[in-house]
């Protein structure tokens, strides 16, 4: 079986291109991971997701342990078999969801006791249980269990959460079962504080992981503070391991983070937007529910190869969205995921050719033009 590893193909400034090798195949970086929280990318069939160019999906420990249950999924062959996705899967540890989705929770050194948002039942999630659940799911990439402090938050509280997360990172490492093709990522915390980010990075490196994620961002701090946090974080992370910015994001966020040395991304934005009538294009976003589209025979993007753009007009997509037809959500989601994968493909090519700065400039200029007739 293929060993888990990361090969760095080249750099352009701080931007990097490479490949993560996993038990279920390679992931070319920079990469965007569509979110399949509950064993499905909403409004998409697995083969449709793969057709967009996606090489890896994200699943979630919290949601899957509550429903249908990690042990049940394991008995049914693991998450790949369960959802008919034979490419790599990364699973979030559940830490963020425990903090954000549950109204009654008790945090201590051992872990978090919380009440399910589904039926009110009580559960306990510890570093050991999180790693166990991800093992049962057969995740190619497992994430450490951590505490993600909110923003804004006093620095003393961020420091407390960061130190706890590092202790949990060691316990996650100890609980992880090493096997060929499977990797464990540590999660750097520290909010927007440079000294805490450095402290967290060094602690994770001392423990030793197969990849390093930057957590605790995209939680309301804004793009400028997020980029500043990356500027003081990525220089401390190993250059021979993949770097993953969790929960990001908008196309502008992705391009800016790649310029700061990030390799992997995930976000619900393209799929959520597809269900609410928003389409992403090189010239910005389009609200297809706007009345000006009802007689528009043009595609969303004449240069896009997705089924929505190749086979349907803006007028038809407008009609589907206004009529709340399921097909509208399916087509817009497919388009958005296709756009995101095309963006990543363009980024990888630009880095490989040594012209990422030109790519950034063209990306920004195109978005400034906007789609005046469409938005």
Other CB atoms within 10 Å distance of the CB of residue 198: 16
Is 266 noted as a catalytic residue in this protein? Answer: yes
The token pair at 187 is 């999660």
CA angle 279, 17, 147 (to 5 degrees): 70
CB 144 within 8 A of CB 127: yes
Distance CA 364, CA 300 (A): 19
Distance CA 79, CA 230 (A): 32
Catalytic site residue from 92, 146, 210, 301: 92
Other CB atoms within 10 Å distance of the CB of residue 295: 10
Is 295 noted as a catalytic residue in this protein? Answer: no
Catalytic site residue from 12, 138, 140, 266: 266
Distance CA 135, CA 73 (A): 11
Q: What is the 3-state secondary structure (H, E, C) of 307-375?
A: HHHHHCCHHHHHHHHHCCCHHHHHHHHHHHHHHHHHHHHHHHHHHHCCCHHHHHHHHHHHHHHCCCCCC
Angle formed by the axes of helices 155-175 and 194-207, nearest 10°: 10
Residue numbers annotated as active site? 92, 266
């Amino acid at each position: 079986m293929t060993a888990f590893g990361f090969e760095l193909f080249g750099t352009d400034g701080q931007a990097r291109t490479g490949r993560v090798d996993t038990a279920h195949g390679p992931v070319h970086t920079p990469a965007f991971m569509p979110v399949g929280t509950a064993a499905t990318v909403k409004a998409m069939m697995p083969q449709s997701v793969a057709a967009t160019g996606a090489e890896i999906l994200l699943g979630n420990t919290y949601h899957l342990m509550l429903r249908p249950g990690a042990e049940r999924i394991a008995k049914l062959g693991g998450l790949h078999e369960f959802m008919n996705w034979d490419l790599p899967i990364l699973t979030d540890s559940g830490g963020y969801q425990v903090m954000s989705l549950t109204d009654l929770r008790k945090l201590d050194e051992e872990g978090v006791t919380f009440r399910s948002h589904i039926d009110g039942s009580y559960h306990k999630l510890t570093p050991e249980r999180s790693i166990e659940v991800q093992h049962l799911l057969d995740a190619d990439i497992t994430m450490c269990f951590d505490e993600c402090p909110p923003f804004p938050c006093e620095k003393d509280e961020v420091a407390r959460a960061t130190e706890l997360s590092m202790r949990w990172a060691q316990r996650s490492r100890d609980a992880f079962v090493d096997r060929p093709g499977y990797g464990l990522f540590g999660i750097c915390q520290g909010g927007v504080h440079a000294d805490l980010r450095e402290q967290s990075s060094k602690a994770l490196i001392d423990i030793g992981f197969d990849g390093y994620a930057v957590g605790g961002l995209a939680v309301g701090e804004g793009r400028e503070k997020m980029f500043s946090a990356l500027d003081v974080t990525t220089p401390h992370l190993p250059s021979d391991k993949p770097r993953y910015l969790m929960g990001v994001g908008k196309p502008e966020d992705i391009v800016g983070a790649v310029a700061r040395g990030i390799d992997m991304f995930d976000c619900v934005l393209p799929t959520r937007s597809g269900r609410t009538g928003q389409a992403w294009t090189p010239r910005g976003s389009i609200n297809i529910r706007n009345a000006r589209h009802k007689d528009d025979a043009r595609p969303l993007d004449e240069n896009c190869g997705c089924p929505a753009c190749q086979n349907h007009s803006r007028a038809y997509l407008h009609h589907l969205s206004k009529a709340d037809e399921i097909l509208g959500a399916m087509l817009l989601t497919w388009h958005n995921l296709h756009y995101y994968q095309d963006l990543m493909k363009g980024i990888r090519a630009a880095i490989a050719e040594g012209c990422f700065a030109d790519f950034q400039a063209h990306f920004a200029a195109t978005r400034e033009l906007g789609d005046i007739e469409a938005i």
